[in-house]
């Protein structure tokens, strides 16, 4: 396990910084998706919908990589390589999604979101963390 140092956590916590999540397709080729990101101090946490390609990829192969770029200084970013260690669905995943909405889209009306969409919260245990441009 690699530690999310103070700079990595600061970059992840910033409200305008998206993560590029890399998962592996069945043939081993990379698939990249920009998405909202969070952390709990030890894990990087992302949230998506059940049935999407990245979700299927992570369920099949837990190895992932992320790059989170500081939107205020694009020469400052963190790279994380790790493994999915927990997938949470249902109510807790929706609650996490609400925290991400508050971070990235304050004031957004969640009632307008797709209520029938099954949310998935994914915890990623970092195995390698590298911060650039500190």
Domain tally for the chain? 1
Q: Supply 30's token pair.
A: 């990379």
Q: Using CA atoms, how far apart are residues 107 and 101, in angstroms rounded to an integer?
A: 8
Decide if 126 is inside a domain.
yes
Q: What does each of the 134 residues of the chain score in pLDDT, given as a tens digit?
A: 899 999 999 999 999 899 999 999 999 999 999 999 999 999 999 999 988 999 999 999 999 999 999 999 999 999 999 999 999 998 899 899 989 999 998 888 765 666 667 899 999 999 999 999 87
Decide if 18 is inside a domain.
yes
SS3 state of residue 38: strand
Phi-psi label, residue 127: left if phi above 0, alpha if psi -120 to 50, beta otherwise? alpha
How open is the CA angle 57-60-65, to the nearest 5 degrees? Answer: 50
Domain with residue 85: its CATH number is 2.30.110.10
Decide if 38 is inside a domain.
yes
Residue 43 to residues 27, 38, 80, 98, 116, Cα–Cα distance (Å): 27, 9, 10, 18, 27
Decide if 104 is inside a domain.
yes
| Domain, as residue range, for 98 | 6-132
Decide if 1 is inside a domain.
no
Q: Using CA atoms, how far apart are residues 38 and 116, in angstroms rounded to an integer?
A: 23
pTM: 0.93
* Cα dihedral value 133, 1, 14, 58, nearest 10: 110
Decide if 13 is inside a domain.
yes
């Amino acid at each position: 396990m690699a530690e999310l140092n103070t700079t990595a956590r600061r970059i992840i916590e910033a409200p305008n910084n998206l993560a590029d999540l890399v998962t592996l397709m069945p043939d081993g080729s990379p698939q990249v998706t920009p998405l909202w990101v969070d952390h709990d101090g030890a894990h990087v946490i992302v949230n998506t919908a059940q049935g999407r390609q990245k979700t299927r990829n992570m369920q099949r192969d837990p190895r992932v990589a992320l790059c989170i770029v500081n939107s205020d200084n694009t020469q400052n970013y963190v790279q994380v390589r790790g493994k999915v260690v927990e997938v949470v669905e249902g109510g807790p995943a929706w609650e996490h999604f609400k925290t991400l909405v508050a971070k990235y889209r304050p004031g957004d009306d969640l009632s307008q979101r797709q209520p029938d969409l099954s949310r998935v919260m994914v915890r990623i245990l970092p195995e390698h963390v590298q911060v650039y441009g500190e």
